[in-house]
Structure 1
């Protein structure tokens, strides 16, 4: 419909401390690299020392018209007890995690590609922002950090780099906790980061158990499963397993060798480089029998 507002395709989400250049330098670099950023969201605390940085950013995106056609928003961090002045406690950090999680989630729900800047603000912000990214990022989302020799704490605080400024922007690898299906569930259903973490852990455990059952059923023969179950469930040695099953110790030893090779294959280890051991095998598959009656 012609009356619908078109959502910007790529968004920069940036944290802010006392140095507003962290936002504009990053934005300038991204635009210079050809990323079609059309929206900037700045997340910030509400301390007095941050106000001047916000005023400079308001000017850049407002009266100065440095970025015509680019949408700019800023969002203050709130906790259950009110405005967050600084990330000075665990409760403050949790409030920021809720804020950054929901910001990324809104952008992903709107179909935007997220560029997450980890340059500004407290180091705690970067740490918790990465947690949110690990939960919600898609294939095309990116996290960035700036490395610079420029001393922004001086009296001259240029909002844009000059050709002589030595700095570089580096991508920060984000190891996503879940697959695409899991992320879609979080995007559609989970608005709270702590619930998202709980669900992600639950999904990961379920997937691990599925993989263990798959190994047990498809990598082992019925005879090998008999040996493996006595090993894992009861911790029997080779001689005890042999007596229980009416086999020779030599036969049991050979079967365990094949079981461990299958275990290595299942774990993706190179052929001939075994890492399997009795203790590792028991530790991996003991959860299959934890909830069964003995």
Structure 2
């Protein structure tokens, strides 16, 4: 059975991790393991947070979960004490990407709370989720009153003013084969570039299907002249030996087919929309 795993970024407030995990459990999410991403414990605040977490997971209800720590490090293996430079930021991105990539290659379902630690950890967590997550995975923030967090209480009690909010994100693909292609890349920047290439290929294929199979041959001839040269209906008619009315009817049919093809039911599809959508296809 695939692993269902809780992943969390950690700063100086360990209760962010424990509260998020308990709130997930209240939602009926089954978690087998908890992994905590953190910087090197060279500051007293981080060292204390790590120690508090270790203690909390030794007693119920958290002792049911296996706890492990993921130290942020550079590609050379040097631990990151903080994230304040461009080099440290890139190393953080690589580390989070590498961890999630490894887990997804194992078939894990990931519930990722990015409420702890530096804000840049949350931003890179979102970027990695968009690249590697599928429909089973979730991304979350923890929202509470400042006074509540200041209590540093690790366990939930009824009525506590704290909520776990899902973070909306758009996975770049729902196609398992394309996601597997992205998972081949160890460097997140290479994965981003590959993702862009695949998106452009998919978009061009989608436009080719529309022009070559959805439109009739007569409609495609009219559309091609409109998009390539921006001709009027009269000019297109003269070029093709058709009346302007016939051209208008064929374009109207193309607009309706595009709206249906792209599910653009709430927007106007006219010659401007058609040109904008197909410009790069006919320019290639």
Q: TM-score, normalised by structure 2?
A: 0.89
Check the 8 A contact 1:260/1:276 in 2, yes or no.
yes
Check the 8 A contact 1:42/1:75 in 2, yes or no.
yes
- Asked whether 1:278 is paired with 2:277, we answer no
| Counterparts of 1:286 and 1:220, CA distance in 2 | 16
| Counterparts of 1:164 and 1:260, CA distance in 2 | 54
Q: How does 1:208-223 map to 2 (within 5 A)?
A: 208-223=203-218
Check the 8 A contact 2:15/2:149 in 1, yes or no.
no
Residue 185 of structure 2: aligned partner: 190
Residue 67 of structure 1: aligned partner: 62
- The runs of 5 or more residues in structure 1 that have no matched partner are 1-6
Q: What SS does the corresponding residue of 2:134 show, helix, strand or coil?
A: coil
Of 234, 240, 246, 2:241 maps to 246
Of 15, 26, 29, 1:35 maps to 29
Displacement of 1:150 in angstroms is 4.7
Change (3 A) 1:102 1:164: same
Residue 111 of structure 2: aligned partner: 115
Q: What SS does the corresponding residue of 1:30 show, helix, strand or coil?
A: helix
Displacement of 1:79 in angstroms is 2.5
Q: What SS does the corresponding residue of 2:32 show, helix, strand or coil?
A: strand
* RMSD, aligned CA: 2.3
| Counterparts of 2:149 and 2:254, CA distance in 1 | 62
- Asked whether 1:126 is paired with 2:122, we answer yes
| Counterparts of 1:266 and 1:67, CA distance in 2 | 50
Check the 8 A contact 1:261/1:274 in 2, yes or no.
no
Displacement of 1:16 in angstroms is 0.5
Higher mean Cα deviation, 28-37 or 205-214? 28-37
Q: What SS does the corresponding residue of 1:116 show, helix, strand or coil?
A: strand
Q: How does 1:229-240 map to 2 (within 5 A)?
A: 229-240=224-235
Q: How does 1:126-205 map to 2 (within 5 A)?
A: 126-151=122-147, 154=150, 156-179=151-174, 180-187=176-183, 189-205=184-200
Displacement of 1:65 in angstroms is 7.1
| Counterparts of 1:9 and 1:15, CA distance in 2 | 19
Displacement of 1:108 in angstroms is 1.9
Change (3 A) 1:274 1:87: closer
| Counterparts of 2:274 and 2:96, CA distance in 1 | 40
| Counterparts of 1:251 and 1:35, CA distance in 2 | 59
- Once the two structures are superposed, residues 127-177 of structure 1 have per-residue CA deviations (whole angstroms, 9 ceiling, x without a partner) of 2101111111122212222211252664x4222233352212222233211
Of 8, 19, 23, 1:25 maps to 19
| Counterparts of 2:259 and 2:159, CA distance in 1 | 54
- Asked whether 1:90 is paired with 2:83, we answer no
Displacement of 1:118 in angstroms is 1.8
Change (3 A) 1:269 1:70: closer
